[in-house]
Amino acid sequence: MKKQHVQLSEDDRKRLQFLTSQGELKARVYKRATALLELDRGKTFTSVAETVGTTHQTVSTWAAKYKAEGLECLLDKPRSGRPIKFDGAQRAKITALACSEPPEGYGQWNLRLLAEKVVELEYCASISHTQVSGILKKTNLSLT
């Protein structure tokens, strides 16, 4: 008899079966749910890893997280890192400003002029010309 690594509760099993039958899950969540269902059926870490296309260690980690957190283990935790400084609306305003007519006396916008105008129009408290460049670069908009 194969060693059973995870024993799902009846509610968790039904929930996982429902989620996997919907077809609207992210691939990561689907893999985790499928792995837990397979482990509940008595499969080994190695065979489940082959089924979902991951490593033995990853399946082992998912099993341990399920035992500790329940079905919360399916979801990704927030990742660390620097929070975004300019939201989508601010980026859109900066891009729109760069696409507009330049101020009188200028043939075209330059990055420093844009940065000054953004602060003047109070789109944000402060912004450097290099940050403006980064925002415009992501939209494939070039001032040169």
d(Cα 114, Cα 28) in Å, to the nearest integer? 41
pLDDT one-digit tens code per residue, 73-124: 888 888 888 888 899 999 999 999 999 999 999 999 999 999 999 999 999 9
d(Cα 138, Cα 86) in Å, to the nearest integer? 13
Backbone angles phi, psi at 24, to 5 degrees: -120, 20
d(Cα 142, Cα 88) in Å, to the nearest integer? 19
**Short-list 104, 136, 97, 135, CA closest to 118:** 97
pTM above threshold 0.75: no
